[in-house]
Structures are given as structure tokens and as C-alpha cells.
Amino acid sequence: MYNLTQQYEQYTTEDFLVWKLLYEQQSKVLPGRACLEFLEGMFRLNFNKHEIPKFEDVNAILAETTGWKVEVVPGLIPDRDFFELLADKKFPSSTWLRKMSELEYLEEPDMFHDTFAHMPLLTIQFFVDYLQELSKLALKHIENPLAIELIGRLYWFTVEFGLIHNHDGMRIYGAGILSSSGESVFCLSKDANQKPFQVKEIIELHYYKDHFQDRYYVIQSYKQLFDSIPEITVWLEKALAKYAAYQGDVTQLDLQLN
């Protein structure tokens, strides 16, 4: 699709330093907060603070686990391209790293977010099966901005900001949290609003991109995510039927479904 490759030899000393600093920063806050599957995934992908991951190495390991692979993209790509790649078991990742001056926050996802935070989860079969089915659903409605917004909300509150409650307690699996030190701590604190995973409410309410989330949805297992696809399809159809005539900005639209 984009025909890009990771130009590993072009990484600079600053890039390696940024990777090392972000890796060390997250290594301080994630043990005891990140879900076990994420930590195991990091280990399987041989992530470490000294080297920026080589996508060909990551792909060789993913080929032996879920059969997914990483596809190099320039950065944020159009929704159609994004969902086409995911539906084809390809995870889009940038290859550039933020600058030292952007360590805390940056507008667009960089390689640290796409690689460190997203890729370990690609070793979990039920998780990638959910991601693939959600993307196939998006492609069915790719011409409908409301459908893409609502599916984007589900993507946001699971893949990016999801929490999971398994045998060792409440843990993080959302990549948007896993690549942020502040939100990794906040989301499990008593100040955070943690709620059981519920498709209807996630679809109904808009979300914020520029500050900590005002709510986090908690799943009990990755199978629960995969099993929610039929329910997602039902609520999406209801929403598209009821709000078919809506002409406003869908990103701020709150729905009432029943």
C-alpha cells in the first residue's frame, strides 16, 4: 500500500536516546500496571532499552504467533487505508521517533507509541481477531462518517485506552495509556472513572483526544472483546438508522440509543 521500509541505518544517536529514555520511563511505571499479556509480548518481541526494534525481527516473531505483521506507514493515514491494513492482519506503524523536546506529549503517534505500546498486544489471538473483525465492519461502512466515528470510539476505548480485570487485578492493555507515563498511573488510581465494558455507552458518547480520559472501560478477558462483535454490529445498525439524517460534526455527537 505505501511500499515503505524501516531505514534502520538512518536512526540517529538522538533517536536511540529517545527510545532508551521512553523505554526506561515506561519500565518504571508499567510493572504491576500493564497486563501480563503485554509484558509477555514485550519479552517475546525481545524489546529492550538499548535497541530500536527492527521491524523485520518483529515480523518474524509475529509470524510464529498470530500471523500478523507490521506495515510501515508515514504517520496517521486515512481511515480506509488504516482499516484495510488491519482487516488484512497488518498493523500500521510509523518509523520516526519524537524529539527530545517532545518526550512528554506529541500530537501524532510516533514509533514509540506504535511499536512499544501496540505491538506486544499483536501476540494475543483474541485481541487481534477482535481488531480484524472491527476493521472489516468499518470497511463495510467506510463511506459513512458516522459509522467510522462510532467504530473509532470502540477502537479508542479498547485498543487505545482499554483496561482489563484479570486474576491479578485491574491492568492496562490500551496502547494510548501504555505509551504515556502519566496516564499509566492515573487510569488505575482512585481518581479515575473505571466502568465495566459496555458497547452501547461507548458508541453513544464522544471522547476527548487532548487530555486524560474521563472514563475507562474494563473487560474481563480478550475473548469478551472478540465475542462483543455481534453486539457491536447490532448497536451500530441502530445508531446508523436513528441518526441517518444527522448532518453535524459527528465527533461531538452524543447519541441516545435504546
Residues at the site binding ligand HBI, with contacts judged by CB under 6 A: 73, 76-77, 79, 82, 92, 109, 152, 155
Q: Residue 162 touches which of ligand HBI, Fe ion, none (CB < 5 to 8 A by kind)?
A: none
Return the number of the residue (109 or 152) whose C-beta is nearest Fe ion: 109
Return the number of the residue (82 or 197) whose C-beta is nearest ligand HBI: 82
User: Please, are residues 120 and 99 in contact by the beta-carbon 8 Å criterion?
Assistant: no
Q: Residue 77 touches which of Fe ion, ligand HBI, none (CB < 5 to 8 A by kind)?
A: ligand HBI
Shortest-Cβ-distance residue relative to ligand HBI: 152
- 65-73 contact pairs (CB < 8 A, 24+): 65/122, 65/123, 65/125, 66/122, 66/123, 66/124, 66/125, 66/128, 68/122, 68/128, 70/115, 70/119, 71/1, 71/2, 72/2, 72/4, 72/5, 72/6, 73/1, 73/2, 73/4
SS3 content of the chain, % helix, strand, coil (to 5): 55, 10, 40
Q: How far apart are CA 202 and CA 158, in angstroms?
A: 10
Return the number of the residue (26 or 94) whose C-beta is nearest ligand HBI: 94
Return the number of the residue (133 or 188) whose C-beta is nearest ligand HBI: 133
Q: Which stretch binds Fe ion (CB under 5 A): 36-44, 147-155, 173-181, 236-244?
A: 173-181
How many Cβ atoms from other residues are within 10 Å of residue 223's Cβ? 14
Q: Residue 152 touches which of Fe ion, ligand HBI, none (CB < 5 to 8 A by kind)?
A: ligand HBI
Tell me how many residues contact Fe ion (CB under 5 A): 2
For the bound state, the minimum distance from the C-beta of residue 2 to ligand HBI, rounded and expressed in Å, comes to 10
Residues in the chain: 258
Write out the residues near Fe ion by the rule CB under 5 A. 109, 175
